Amino acid sequence: MNEFVIAYFAALIIASCLAAYFKYTRAFMLVFSLTLVSIIVGIIGGTSALWTITIFAGLLALAAALSYAFREFLIQISRPGLAKELRTAPLTAAFGMFIIFTYAIAGVFAPWIAPHGQAEVIAGAFAPADANMLLGADQLGRDMFSRLIYGARNSVGLALVATIGAFALGAVSGLFAAVKGGWFDQAMGRSADIIMSVPSLIFALLMLSIFGTNLSIIVIVVAIIYSPRVFRLTRAVAGNIVVMDYIEAAKLRGEGDWYLIRKEILPNCTAPLIAEFGLEFCFVFLLIAGLSFLGLGIQPPTADWGSMVRENATLISFGDITPLIPAAAIALLTVAINFVVDWMLFRSSGLKEQ
Amino acid sequence: MGDVLKLILKRLGYGLLTLLVVSILIFFAVELLPGDTAQAILGQAATPETVAALRTQLGLDQPAPIRYLSWLSHAVVGDFGVSAVSGTPVVQVIGGRFINTLFLASYAAVIAVPLAIILGVIVALLRNSVFDRVANVLTLTSISSPEFFLGYILILFFAVNIPAFPAIASLSGSLSFPELLHRTFLPALTLVLVVTAHMMRMTRAAIINLLASPYIEMARLKGVPPWKVIVKHALPNAWAPIINVVALNLAYLITGVVLVEVVFVYPGIGQALVDAVSKRDFPVVQAASLIFAATFILLNLTADVGAILTNPRLRHPK
Amino acid sequence: MTRFAKKDILLEIRDLQIQGYTDETWIDIIKGVDLTLHRGEVLGLIGESGAGKSTIGAAAMGYARDGTRISGGSIEFDGIELTNASQAEKRALRGSRIAYVAQSAAASFNPAHKIIDQHTEAPVHYRIQKRLEAQEDAMELYERLRLPNPQEIGFRYPHQVSGGQLQRAMTAMAMACRPDLIIFDEPTTALDVTTQIEVLAAIRDIVDQFNTAAIYITHDLAVVAQMADTIKVLLKGEEVEEASTKEMLDNPQEDYTKSLWAVRSFKRPQKSRPTDGTPPIIAVKNVDAAYPGGAKVLDDVSFDIYPGMTVAVVGESGSGKSTTARCITGLLPPLKGEILFKGDPMPAKYKDRSLDQLRQAQMIYQMADTALNPKVRISEIIGRPAQFYSGLKGTALKQRVDELLDLIELEPSKYYDRYPPELSGGQKQRIGIARALAAEPEFIICDEVTSALDQLVAEGILKLLDRLQRDLGLAYMFITHDLATVRSIADEVVVMQHGKVVEQGPKEEMFTPPHHPYTDLLLSSVPEMDPEWLTTVLEERGVDNIGDAADV
């Protein structure tokens, strides 16, 4: 029993008593369960386990506070309509938006933020961190931190382009299939089925083995692989809209397909499509990261998170977490996007019930 | 029963057709190679004689449709030709590995499927509670993480910091079954984490969707206790979506398995595929792709047939 | 009220308040309603949509639907206070002492279980009967409710039984434990009139036989007049008045109630066909039609619509009324026969028609919600046809839109920039009318335009359509299943059944006997305000025949 353990339990117990006294039932249940869990964890893992919990809780609190502040910031700078929407965002969504914002800054301003170039060799292989290199050097002696920043530009940028490609392909064909119907709809549906019947990673590997790992090839292949998902969603959403009487009225008026899509259908399916864009980006991003990890994505010396994990993987067996940082960067962005999308989907489904 | 049989046969036929189209796709994709396949395999430095020899060996001197038919007819009986790199039959390269992959995927599935369905039903029951919110954040985090991230974290914690399991899941030597389970625990756990999260979310959504049905409200207004509402009134109608969820995620396991095999250096078909891709060993790439695609299609087919068989409207026609 | 002694009070609701969750806040939807129900009494709860009838019905079981909560007042059922009873206590009442019959039987039976298994669930659960006894009892109830094959029907799955039969099976299920109180939540609203009558008769008889108290929720005054001892009128979550059925019908006190009663009085003089040889504006000639891959839905349909006249096409669901409209507009090319416009044949497909031909035939839809794009401004919804057909732009277009808004009696400056979701049901329907008028047509198809609206609003729409017809010389094809609407607005009537025209002619002729047997069935099945109507009809037809008549 040292002072830390005493302070730890004292803080938890006082907090749960306060919560109970002021009738914050949920907070009380949470804090008191944590107290009980801590007793068990403390017995098994000792002081260090409690420290881990403390640090974890602290980080969580920090993230929550940051998200809260960031949401307030967004509310202040956006116009009234949007601000009202933002007020309903849970902290997880605000956290997601903050992360996306940070990544965007890092990606756009990479050359100014990164202290060194992405291919610049400045130290020995696996040199430890120092004042010059925040995270140390990689297997060739390049600055990990700079490569991480550049990775935001390269990995995210590539995934974004591929997602836009998949989206353009899938959404346009989905909208036309819904409006045209008949054989065109059937043919598109069947082709989508075929593409989706091959696992995406396998499909990508097959194509890349044939066409090589050129950046534009990756974009095209990934766009084709993921366009059926967008197609199916767009077709389903637009399919629910084309049966509406206002579409029939417009058709009977003699309006063309393009007018129907642009004026009557698109305004009614923006919400699900935006949410799908987020999800789609996550899939594409993870697929490209997977390919890079297998050495088939962005080629060196361009910095890329997936390949950075692979190149430095050996460090893990020495208990060094450096190779996990780019992997965590990938996970963090997908988590962030998923948080935001989750909120958007919840909102659109919530509105539907009314 | 006639209608159901017809539907199932139709679905089977459609699955077979898809598989056929996919096999055409896989075969002719290789045909798209710029220049000559044999040349591409051997590289620019090869002499014309060796190229010609390889052409005959690969049967490249015959027209493409003929070669496709012969490739397919051999593939159906498990003969995928000869590896362009090692010269050994493809079956020898990937046969045993395919079994290993199936073992790993089943290992993960046996844990993940019951776990995910039970947890999914529980979070659906406790929807909007603290527990549900926490589960939501955790599952979202899990599905957002690349498989290799989860894999390395597990290695860091359970192989390096606490050396309870091996970081490399090699299967060399004769292993007893418990030893096998121990060796492959970390890769299986990685897959379990990813797939459980997916399945849990989808099960929850399927059940919540059902709970909004008027017949569930009717059951509640009949005084049926909550657990019975779920077990007797929701679950019989939830089988179709749940079977779908399971099949979809088993199919997902197949993709995930490639990355996990690489992380844990597990001797499965996924690793063979990745090796073959970097060495441009096309017969192996084709064979592995076809096997993956066939498994994928088979699983989706099972889901569809399952959905047909559990639909009361189809089982008891008018 | 004298029939019921004070000591026999079964359910007493005092100052009930219920809130609903919309837009992140709780809004009052029931604002202090009192209700007293005696044993054996049938109380009719009537009101328009949004009056809170169904919410009160659920609250009588101590049940609040998702997104609603009981925020105040008391609900006392036979001495048990439901607002603060535990879930288990409330559950013990449901199914055994208070039962519920839902609007859509098809959706409220679990598709995975046989009807009888669902029927016996409650009695077996409450250990009132053994499984086999409950089964015997179910068959007896089926027989009392005049279901065909009472011994066998319970062993079918819900999707194997027709809607009217399912609704009766659900009533039987509610009776399974011989409850003290049954809540009927619009049990016949989704049914056709000829099916409705048998369900009404069955419900009334069984409630009578077991002396069960009931709350009968409906928006249809004529229906409630047959069923209830007492009627309570609701408006926007508040009580308007309550009185015994006879008193309420003969002598309503409140203005709102009077206006509800008065609705059915609108009538306009009948016009007859022009005699100067003008061709009909639309002539349907021997049309057969089928949906792709389906059976024939129209069989040799012919009728004419003359300029300036209203032709009502009447029939139950599935009779082919709307399909005929789709043939006229060109959405469904007929297999045989043709559509003539002012004597000239029109191309079968709408895509082959000229803009002028398209302009001439406009439609107004049943569901204003799906007929107007929620993401398009009113000004554009109405302006687009004017712009599209007449090429109007800028101020000329704006002027035209203002003119059209004036025509449908909506203040232009107020509605110009609004979006459809911000409007009420009646206003939306008016916008739909304005969109049709914007094309300057001579002929408009009105597809069940009033059936989704509350009666007062529907009345306003009918009056508007009548005025527009007089001012602009429009011809209407009026598709409806509601004979009251036909009486008030039609000049000629076409009766359809199973895709065939069974009878047609001027309205007065159609409403005076002798009729075609189907027209007769249809006419006599429409509930009337007279509380004795159901009894009289049943006597005329003979009890055994009603079921057969509807299940043809």
**pLDDT tens per residue across span A167-217:** 999 999 999 999 888 889 889 988 888 888 888 888 888 888 888 778 888
CA distance A251 to B42: 59
Q: Examine residue B316 and state whether it is found in any structural domain, yes or no.
A: no
Which pLDDT does position A173 carry in this prediction? Answer: 92
First-to-final CA distance of chain A: 56
Q: What is the pLDDT of residues B215-250, one digit of tens each?
A: 988 888 888 888 888 888 888 888 888 888 888 888
- Which member of C22, C361, C373 has the closest CB to residue A264? C373
Higher pLDDT, A124 or A73: A73
Chain C residues within 8 angstroms (CB to CB) of chain A: 22, 24, 67, 329-331, 350, 353, 355, 358, 361, 363, 365, 367, 370-376, 384-385, 388-389, 435, 439
Q: What is the pLDDT of residues C150-167, one digit of tens each?
A: 888 888 888 888 888 888
Q: Examine residue B287 and state whether it is found in any structural domain, yes or no.
A: no
Minimal C-alpha gap between B116 and chain A (Å)? 20
Q: Which residue of C has its CA nearest to A263?
A: C376
Which pLDDT does position A166 carry in this prediction? Answer: 93
Which residues, in sequence order, are CB contacts of A33 under 8 Å at separation 6+? Answer: none
Which pLDDT does position A98 carry in this prediction? Answer: 92
Residue C3 — very low, low, confident or very high, per pLDDT cuts 50/70/90?
low
Highest-pLDDT range among A99-113, B52-66, C447-461? A99-113
Q: Examine residue B57 and state whether it is found in any structural domain, yes or no.
A: no
* Strand partners for C37: C11
Average pLDDT, chain C: 84
Residues 305-344 of A with CB under 8 A from B: 306, 309-310, 313, 316-319, 321, 323-324, 327-328, 330-331, 334-335, 337-339, 342
CA distance C493 to B33: 72
Q: What is the pLDDT of residues C257-290, one digit of tens each?
A: 877 776 566 777 778 788 777 888 888 888 898 8
Look up the CATH number of domain C6-261.
Answer: 3.40.50.300
| Whole-number percent of chain C with pLDDT over 90 | 4
Residue B265 — very low, low, confident or very high, per pLDDT cuts 50/70/90?
confident
Q: What is the pLDDT of residues C293-350, one digit of tens each?
A: 778 888 889 999 998 889 999 888 778 888 899 899 988 888 888 888 888 888 888 8
* Strand partners for C492: C311, C506
Q: Are C18 and C71 in contact (CB under 8 A)?
A: yes
Which pLDDT does position C551 carry in this prediction? Answer: 40
| Tally of CA atoms within 13 A in the half-sphere of C497 that contains its CB | 15
In this complex, do A198 and B144 lie within 8 Å of one another by their Cβ atoms?
no
CA distance C199 to B290: 60
Using an 8 Å CB-CB cutoff, list chain B residues near A317.
155, 159-160, 167
Which pLDDT does position B36 carry in this prediction? Answer: 61
* Strand partners for C345: C340
Q: Please name the chains neighbouring C, where neighbouring means 3+ C-beta pairs under 8 angstroms.
A: A, B
Using an 8 Å CB-CB cutoff, list chain A residues near C374.
268
In this complex, do A29 and B254 lie within 8 Å of one another by their Cβ atoms?
no
Q: Is B46 helix (H, G, I), strand (E, B) or coil?
A: coil
Using an 8 Å CB-CB cutoff, list chain C residues near A244.
370-371, 373
Interface size, chain A vs chain B, as Cβ–Cβ contacts under 8 Å: 143
Q: Examine residue B288 and state whether it is found in any structural domain, yes or no.
A: no
**Mean pLDDT, range C110-138, rounded to an integer:** 87
CA distance C124 to C101: 19
Using an 8 Å CB-CB cutoff, list chain A residues near B148.
290, 293, 309-310, 327
Q: For every residue of B219-285, which 3-state class applies, written as one string?
A: HHHCCCCHHHHHHHHHHHHHHHHHHHHHHHHHHHHHHHHHHHHHHCCCCCHHHHHHHHHHHCCHHHH
**Mean pLDDT, range B293-298, rounded to an integer:** 88
Q: What's the pTM value of the predicted model, to 2 decimals?
A: 0.84
| A70 pLDDT higher than 70 | yes
Q: Examine residue B64 and state whether it is found in any structural domain, yes or no.
A: no
CA distance C532 to C528: 9
| A352 pLDDT higher than 50 | no
CA distance C53 to C15: 15
Q: Examine residue B114 and state whether it is found in any structural domain, yes or no.
A: yes
Domain boundaries, chain C: 6-261, 282-512
**Mean pLDDT, range C37-54, rounded to an integer:** 84
Residue C53 backbone dihedrals phi, psi, to 5 degrees: -60, -50
| C103 pLDDT higher than 70 | yes
Average pLDDT, chain A: 85
Give the CATH number of the domain where residue B244 resides. 1.10.3720.10
Which pLDDT does position C456 carry in this prediction? Answer: 78
Q: Are C142 and C172 in contact (CB under 8 A)?
A: yes
**Mean pLDDT, range A2-27, rounded to an integer:** 85
For chain A, list the domains and their CATH numbers: 3-70 (no CATH), 144-349 (1.10.3720.10)
In this complex, do C363 and A354 lie within 8 Å of one another by their Cβ atoms?
no
- Which member of B148, B282, B288 has the closest CB to residue A309? B148
Domain extent for B196: 95-280
**Mean pLDDT, range A57-73, rounded to an integer:** 90
CA distance A318 to A14: 41
Which pLDDT does position C311 carry in this prediction? Answer: 92
Q: Which residue of C has its CA nearest to B235?
A: C112
Using an 8 Å CB-CB cutoff, list chain A residues near B276.
209
Decide which of 3.30.200.20, 3.40.50.300, 2.40.50.140, 3.40.250.10 is the CATH code for C282-512.
3.40.50.300
What domain count does chain B have? 1
Q: Examine residue B269 and state whether it is found in any structural domain, yes or no.
A: yes
Which pLDDT does position A227 carry in this prediction? Answer: 92
Which pLDDT does position A333 carry in this prediction? Answer: 92
Which pLDDT does position A220 carry in this prediction? Answer: 92
- Which member of A197, A331, A342 has the closest CB to residue B145? A331
CA distance C417 to B42: 70
In this complex, do A248 and C24 lie within 8 Å of one another by their Cβ atoms?
no
Do C6-261 and C282-512 have matching folds?
yes
In this complex, do A327 and B146 lie within 8 Å of one another by their Cβ atoms?
yes
Cα torsion A215, A216, A220, A221 to 10°: value is -40
Q: What is the pLDDT of residues B95-144, one digit of tens each?
A: 888 888 888 989 999 999 999 988 988 888 887 777 888 888 888 888 88
**Mean pLDDT, range C414-421, rounded to an integer:** 86
Cα torsion B108, B114, B117, B123 to 10°: value is -100
Chain A residues within 8 angstroms (CB to CB) of chain C: 88, 244-246, 248-249, 251-255, 263-264, 267-268, 353-354
In this complex, do B18 and A327 lie within 8 Å of one another by their Cβ atoms?
no
Residue C550 — very low, low, confident or very high, per pLDDT cuts 50/70/90?
very low
Q: Which residue of B has its CA nearest to C173?
A: B222
* Strand partners for C480: C314
Residue C311 backbone dihedrals phi, psi, to 5 degrees: -110, 120
**Mean pLDDT, range B254-266, rounded to an integer:** 86
Q: Examine residue B24 and state whether it is found in any structural domain, yes or no.
A: no
